[in-house]
Amino acid sequence: MGIRKHRQLTVLPAAALVAAIAAGCLQAQIDQNSRQLVQQQAELERLGNEVAALKAAQVQSTPVPPGSCDTDVSRIATRRGGERFAAADFSHALAYYQDALTACPGSARAELNLARTCEAMGQRAGAIAHYQGAAKGGGEGGDEAAKSARDALSRLGVR
């Protein structure tokens, strides 16, 4: 037998051994991926069931009729706006006070809070517009807010 033939005979079993090992590793990887896929499918099904249960339990809220006031929303928004105003976080205070006015359109108290916040932010035109809205009165505490708004308009030199 020649040297070349002898090399081929020793290389072939080694190559076959490497191929067998690689095939075994690939099969192990395939099996692992299959198990992972089954677990993920079970997790997706579980999550889908949770979403369905949440949707079934979801309470449908009824919107507040136009022109009425949602005092709970207004009270919470006003409190949070006051906290943000006290922390000199005027942009967030403004957003909360806008929520309060949306919850109770025509609320002189909400208009007054918006006016004071606009004034603190240096937004004179916005402050005047909200002070004028508050000066009309309306809503809980409307008379007191209207008086404060008229005083502020006078201070700003607006008639």
Q: Clarify whether residues 82 and 34 are in a common domain.
A: no
Residue 63 lies in a domain: no
Q: Confidence class of residue 148 from pLDDT cuts 50, 70 and 90? A: very high
pTM greater than the 0.95 cutoff? no
Q: Clarify whether residues 54 and 75 are in a common domain.
A: no
Residue 17 lies in a domain: yes
Q: What is the span of the domain harbouring residue 139?
A: 71-155
Residue 65 lies in a domain: no
- Cα–Cα distances in angstroms (integers) from residue 128 to residues 115, 121, 123, in the given order: 7, 13, 9
Count the domains in the chain.
2
Q: What's the pLDDT tens digit per position in 93-136?
A: 999 999 999 999 989 999 999 999 999 999 999 999 999 999 98
Answer with the one of 28, 58, 88 that is the final residue of a domain: 58
pLDDT at 34 over 70: yes
Percent of the chain clearing pLDDT 70 (strictly above): 79
Q: Clarify whether residues 85 and 113 are in a common domain.
A: yes
Q: Clarify whether residues 137 and 113 are in a common domain.
A: yes
Answer with the one of 9, 25, 58 that is the final residue of a domain: 58
